[in-house]
Amino acid sequence: MPRCSFFNHMDSKRPYSIAVHGGAGTILREAMNAELEQHYSEALTLAIHCGEAILNNGGKAVDAVEAAVATLEDSELFNAGKGAVFTNDGTHELDASIMDGHHRRAGAVAGVKHIQNPVKLCRHIMEHSGHVFMLGSGAEQFALEQGFGLVENSFFSTEFRREQWLKLKDTDVTALDHSAHHLRKFGTVGAVAYDRNGNLAAATSTGGITNKRYGRVGDSAIIGAGTYAENGICAVSATGYGEFFIRGVAAYEVAALIKHAKLSLQQACNEIIFEAIPKLGGDGGLIAINNKGEIYMPFNTKGMYRAAKRENEELQLGIYEDK
Q: Decide if 196 contacts 85 (C-beta within 8 A).
A: no
Residues taking part in catalysis: 188
Non-local (6+) Cβ contacts of 277 within 8 A are 240, 241, 244, 245, 248, 250, 283, 284, 300
Exposure string over 96-115, b if 16+ CB within 10 A, otherwise e: bbbbbbbeebbbbbbbbbbb
Nearest to 255 by CA among 221, 288, 300: 288
Checking DSSP bridges between strand 133-135 and strand 105-112, what pairing results, if any?
A: parallel
Cα 46 from Cα 304, distance rounded (Å): 17
Cα 132 from Cα 187, distance rounded (Å): 24
Amino acid at 315: L
